[in-house]
Structure 1
Amino acid sequence: MSKTVLILGGSFAGLHVAHALLKKSIRDVKVILVSKSTHFYWNLASVRAIIPGQIEDDDIFKPLEDALARYPAESWELVIGSATHADFDSKTVDIAVGDGTARTISYDQLVLATGARTHPDAPWKATGSYEQALATLHATSAKVKDAQHIVVAGAGGTGIEVAGELGYEYGKTKEIVLLCAGDKLANGHGIAEAAANELRKLDVTIRYDARAAEVRPSGNGTGKTDVVLAGGETITTDLYLPTTGQVPNTEYIPARFLSTDQRSATVLVDEYLRVSGARDVWACGDVVSQPRAGFFITQKQAASVARNVEAALAGLKPTVAKGPPVDIFACAVGRGRGVGRVNNSIRMPSLVVWLAKGRNLGIPMLKGYIDGSVA
């Protein structure tokens, strides 16, 4: 009797798990991949893609169908849609299909890899269809081109990289302001001082202890935006780019399987990345965000989940999930420099960060998610 592995999410974690299982050619097992988008999005490069003329759409968007077509047709199915409700007791998931219909899919093993979202008007994550992601990216790029004053809100990794790209391209001709809610960038991580120094070299103005409390259209009819800071000051800008507020896509999951943080309800998992209290359900990537959200962490989690799903299908016990051997936090700062730390202690030379990340923001690695070599 055939078994079904249902994977929710067609991004870094979900597609990785799909490749890992399909490459095994496990007998009588079908992998169903559910994705809101028809395309895989290399969103790590979105910070540079907002600069007009830097990155082509085809360089960072690839059809999921191309990734799966290398496997026997009977072993997989791609469903374009999104999960609306998961019932872990009956082992079913309700799907809102992209064509407007609804479908309920039964599973033997379920993988939750639906990722996270950011501000709906920001291109840092794909929050909907391929067409929506393209439209958001193009609209942002057009606004960047026209703006003379740009405010980037949020001084985490994404905020630092966005400000760096803008400063590298426009630091001499446009005013770029980075808002940092605290007194150090990156929540005080070891890269904070080096990142601030690199941004200043690119003529980026950093405002510390500056949290955006309200954002509203300017009342003068010029199309500008008023950014009201928590202290009461108002900054009027041509373009406001928020990079804060990453929210896990977990609304379809019953509350008892989620953390109690109302702003960021992540999935609760055990040491095997098995959902706590659920049977035959696993989770990886940004829906877990443990120890934090990150590309290399997601890769390791996806590999662990794939191994444990394979073991479960064979009636074997799971193995403890392993993270990366070291914790690397690195940010490209424009197209020429970068900052990074290993285990928040060992400084990475700027040239090393540039070679590893800043030169192309990892775009050559996208190939592995299409040809399957990532798994």
Structure 2
Amino acid sequence: MSKTIVVLGGSMAGLNIVHRLLKYTLPHEPDLKVILVSKNSHFYWNCASPRGVLPGLIPDEEYIQAIAPGLDKYPLESNEFIVGSATGVDKTSRQVTVSTADGTRQLKYDYLVIATGARCTEDTLPWKANNTYEELIESIHRTQENIKQAKHIVVAGAGATGVELCGELKFEYKDKQVLLLCADEKLVGGDSCHASIEKQLKSMHVEIKKSARVEDTKTLDNGKTEITLSNGEKITTDYYMATMGMVPNTEFLPAEWLTDRKYLNVDEHFQVVGEKGVWSLGDAVSRPRASFPETEAQGGAVHKNIEAVLKGKHQSRVKGLPADIFICSMGRSRGVGRIGWVPAPSIAIWAMKGRTLGRERTPKYVDGSAF
């Protein structure tokens, strides 16, 4: 009897599952069909975005590549790639409604994997691939041009993306003024390496303003941006770059599948609570810390659980990484972070992340060789 698995989302989590199913499950489940639905026709290695938005540093094709060619090597009848947006899920009929350029489709599923990720609350910058390929490329190039022209830049949000962006900006542009707005008293959510990150940014002459929550922004007649903070203070800048806040892409799903913060509510198997045959992973799930090593590990474990269900066996608990890793690149030659509770040397972070920001993994995700 044929089985259809619909995977929603063509980023790190979604491609992880799709390639594992087609490489490892299909050979012993020949009637399996995998349908991938993605808003973007291209895979975006967004870990490279804090450097990719700087003009002239990374060619687009090194971290943005078409998804379809990587699926062509599998049997034609075993997979389908649909460029479109999931707009609804009927859990009773087990159908997904998908909006495409050619109209609306209804996809019947036996099993469903939700890997739709999350987006920034201020979704004007290319930190995620939440729209079409054309819109993503246009956003990157527009951002590059704005950075090139700006003499004063405000970065709002002192999480990993914000601090890496500040480090990249000051590494490349010693003459630009860069101000980092942190809504809290400590950078990166108070992680144990926050003081080291702050020290490194200050040594690069990044100005840091803490307890500075953005209340409003307004574009002025001269093209500059006026930022109003929650305490009433106003800051004018040539270019405002927001990196704070994440919203899961789950608004099309049944409300009972979600937590109060709208993330997927999953059990120890990363199966949606109360719903057999439906799994979720990546940024659409609220735990643990979002990172590509965690997502890769989840992909392997969720794939094994899908295989277990197909074989009528018990699923296994999805385990996290053996050690929590938090590392931030600070330009092309340095970095700050930790492995577990142990501070990592700057040269080690450069080797692990800062040298390339992992963009060599882009073609490996696309062709499946990463898995």
Residue 296 of structure 2 is matched in structure 1 by: 299
Cα distance in 2 for residues equivalent to 1:372 and 1:325? 24
Superposed, 1:76-225 pairs within 5 Å as 76-97=79-100, 99-118=101-120, 119-170=122-173, 172-218=174-220, 221-225=221-225
Work out which of the residue numbers 334, 342, 348 in structure 2 matches 1:346: 342
Instruction: Provide TM-score, normalisation by structure 1.
Output: 0.96
Cα distance in 2 for residues equivalent to 1:247 and 1:141? 25
Cα distance in 2 for residues equivalent to 1:333 and 1:191? 14
Code of the aligned partner of 1:231: N
The Cα offsets for residues 180-200 of structure 1, whole Å up to 9 and x where unpaired, read as 111111111012111111111
Code of the aligned partner of 2:343: R
Q: Does 1:33 align with 2:36?
A: yes
Code of the aligned partner of 1:105: L
The Cα offsets for residues 104-152 of structure 1, whole Å up to 9 and x where unpaired, read as 1001110000011112211110110111111111111110000111000
Cα distance in 2 for residues equivalent to 1:54 and 1:229? 32
Q: Structure 2, unaligned stretches of length 5 or more? A: none
Consecutive aligned runs of 4 or more in structure 1 exceeding 4 Å deviation: none
Residue 351 of structure 2 is matched in structure 1 by: 355
CA-CA distance at 1:168 after TM superposition: 0.7
Cα distance in 2 for residues equivalent to 1:252 and 1:304? 25
Structure 1, 153-162 or 67-76: larger mean CA deviation:
67-76
Residue 243 of structure 1 is matched in structure 2 by: 243
Cα distance in 2 for residues equivalent to 1:139 and 1:342? 36
CA-CA distance at 1:89 after TM superposition: 2.0
Work out which of the residue numbers 58, 66, 71 in structure 1 matches 2:74: 71
Q: Does 1:290 align with 2:292?
A: no
Cα distance in 2 for residues equivalent to 1:150 and 1:30? 48
Residue 11 of structure 2 is matched in structure 1 by: 11
Structure 1, 52-61 or 334-343: larger mean CA deviation:
334-343
CA-CA distance at 1:100 after TM superposition: 4.0
Q: Does 1:368 align with 2:368?
A: no
Code of the aligned partner of 2:202: R
Report SS of the residue matched to 1:6.
Answer: strand
Code of the aligned partner of 1:28: D
Residue 329 of structure 1 is matched in structure 2 by: 326
Cα distance in 2 for residues equivalent to 1:257 and 1:292? 20
Work out which of the residue numbers 303, 306, 312 in structure 2 matches 1:309: 306
Cα distance in 1 for residues equivalent to 2:73 and 2:200? 44
Code of the aligned partner of 1:260: D
Report SS of the residue matched to 2:134.
Answer: helix
Cα distance in 1 for residues equivalent to 2:260 and 2:160? 25
Cα distance in 1 for residues equivalent to 2:149 and 2:103? 40
CA-CA distance at 1:370 after TM superposition: 2.0
Q: Does 1:57 align with 2:64?
A: no
Code of the aligned partner of 2:346: S
Task: Count matched residues.
Answer: 367
Instruction: Provide TM-score, normalisation by structure 2.
Output: 0.97
CA-CA distance at 1:371 after TM superposition: 2.5
Cα distance in 2 for residues equivalent to 1:88 and 1:300? 27
Q: Structure 1, unaligned stretches of length 5 or more? A: none
Report if the CA contact (8 A) 1:88-1:279 is conserved.
no
Q: Does 1:275 align with 2:272?
A: yes
Cα distance in 1 for residues equivalent to 2:70 and 2:337? 32
CA-CA distance at 1:232 after TM superposition: 0.8
Pairwise CA RMSD: 1.0
CA-CA distance at 1:166 after TM superposition: 0.7
Code of the aligned partner of 1:20: R
Code of the aligned partner of 1:110: L
Cα distance in 2 for residues equivalent to 1:308 and 1:372? 19
Report SS of the residue matched to 1:23.
Answer: helix
